[in-house]
Amino acid sequence: MESGPLRTPPVNVGTREAGARGASRHAFTVDVEDYYHVDAFSRHISREDWSNYESRVVRNTRCILRILEEHGVRGTFYILGYVARKHPELVREIHQAGHEVGCHGYWHQPVYRLSPDEFRADLLLATDVLSDIIGERMISFRAPNFSIRADTLWALDVLADAGYVIDSSIFPVVHDQYGIPDAERAPHWRPLSQGGIWEFPPSVYRCRFGNLPIAGGGYFRLFPFRATRWLMEQTATRDGLPLMFYIHPWEVDPDQPRIRSSWKSRFRHYQNLRTTERKLERLVESLPFGTVTDALLAADVGYAEEGSLASGTGTPAPHAFGRPLHVTPVGWDQA
């Protein structure tokens, strides 16, 4: 496939009718990568060493696929281009099961370590690999390590230019590696120099001390399930926000090889791996989940034109969640 902007309307997305189903109220997402791709281990495992490690991503992803299938849930799988090229059958399996396929970049490089040209090359490489496998255009992207920060907002223009309509990379939290603490918590339309893009951030709970991350990854493993469910339900009911949940396949694999690293990286990566699978089962039993696109449509943050979220055209709808949809000025957090 020839590299370049994707202008053809995507076809692997839902309709407003599909999104309006109760089962699509919140977004269930999976960042499809292997345990040795994690950025916390990059000082100890170079890209050249990846082939020396046992790949467990197919087995672990199938565990998540089984859980979702048993509960009738369809999600969005942000797939690493490297994984797609190595395991194209896994990508087809995800797609044929009715899940939405999104892009997670190719080499799992944080955006803040790349120049705009390097990011574009990585994005288009991953896009071409994934699109060739499923035969469709993708519209949804998540940066490795949620690495679109205040200093890398230029990446959104690159995404829009490549034909992406939805991004889920800006985490509204304080963190040593990612996050824009005062970023909008709700899905919102973000105007850019050429058009714009929908931003659907990972869920956080607003408390007196700031934003508490509640819906995915190490936070999901760290907190007791009852606390997580209460925080998520409060965010959905008190604040009226659709939830964005995320998980990695390696998080359901307590027997994965241990990588020598700092105590902080080991704690973040290996904490409570043995309880994740059961927590996931309880989660999808407790809340109505669907794909990112369906969750946006169900929340009525689509376009004024019927079905135009799927085609990437139209005018942003004026209201969402019972209040005006937040429209973010360009450069709002660079002052």
Q: Is the pLDDT of residue 110 over 80?
A: yes
Choose between 315 and 35: higher pLDDT: 35
Token output for 28 = 């269930």
| Residue numbers of the domain that contains 304 | 31-319
Average pLDDT of the residues of the chain = 84
List the single range of 74-83, 149-158, 223-232, 300-309 with lowest mean pLDDT.
300-309
In a domain, 86, yes or no: yes
Q: In Å, how far are 39, 40, 53, 145, 222 from 45, measured between CA atoms? A: 9, 10, 10, 16, 25
Task: Say if residues 91 and 129 touch (Cβ distance below 8 Å).
Answer: no
Q: What whole-number distance in Å separates Cα of residue 94 and Cα of residue 33? A: 14
DSSP 209-274: TEEEE-SBHHHHHHS-HHHHHHHHHHHHHTS----EEEE-GGGG-TTSPPPP--HHHHHHHHTTHH
Q: Is residue 9 part of a domain?
A: no
Domain annotation covers residue 324: no
Residue 331 belongs to some domain of the structure: no
| Residues paired with residue 201 on neighbouring β-strands, in sequence order | none
Residues in the chain, overall count: 335
* 6 found inside a domain: no
Asked if residues 196 and 203 have their Cβ atoms less than 8 Å apart, the reply is no
Please report, for the domain that includes residue 145, its CATH number.
3.20.20.370
Other CB atoms closer than 10 Å to residue 323's CB: what's the count? 9
Residue 57, pLDDT above cutoff 80: yes
Task: Report the Cα 181 to chain-centroid distance in Å.
Answer: 18
Has residue 328 got a pLDDT over 60? Answer: no
CA–CA gap between residue 76 and residue 24 (Å, rounded): 11
Residue 93 is predicted with a pLDDT of 99
- Name the more confident of 158 and 4: 158
- pLDDT of 266: 81
Residue 23 included in any domain: no
HSE (CB half, 13 Å, CA atoms) of 218?
A: 13
What's the rounded mean pLDDT across residues 149-173?
A: 96
Strands 166-167 and 188-191 come out as unpaired
Rounded Cα–Cα distance for residues 314 and 123 (Å): 25
> Which pLDDT score, from 0 to 100, does residue 307 have?
34
The share of the chain scoring above pLDDT 70, in percent, equals 81
Q: In this model, does residue 36 exceed pLDDT 80?
A: yes
Tokens 């396949």 correspond to what residue? 249
Nearest Cα to Cα of residue 323 among 185, 168, 173, 180:
185
Domain total for the chain?
A: 1
Confirm whether 329 is domain-assigned: no
Pick from 149, 150, 199, 141: nearest CA to 327: 199
Give the integer Cα–Cα distance in Å for 288 and 286.
7
Residues 6+ apart with CB under 8 A from 328: 184, 188, 189, 190, 191, 199
pLDDT in tens, 258-290: 988 887 888 878 898 999 999 999 999 999 999
**Residue 1: inside a domain, yes or no?**
no
Answer for the pair 293, 309: CB distance below 8 angstroms, yes or no: yes
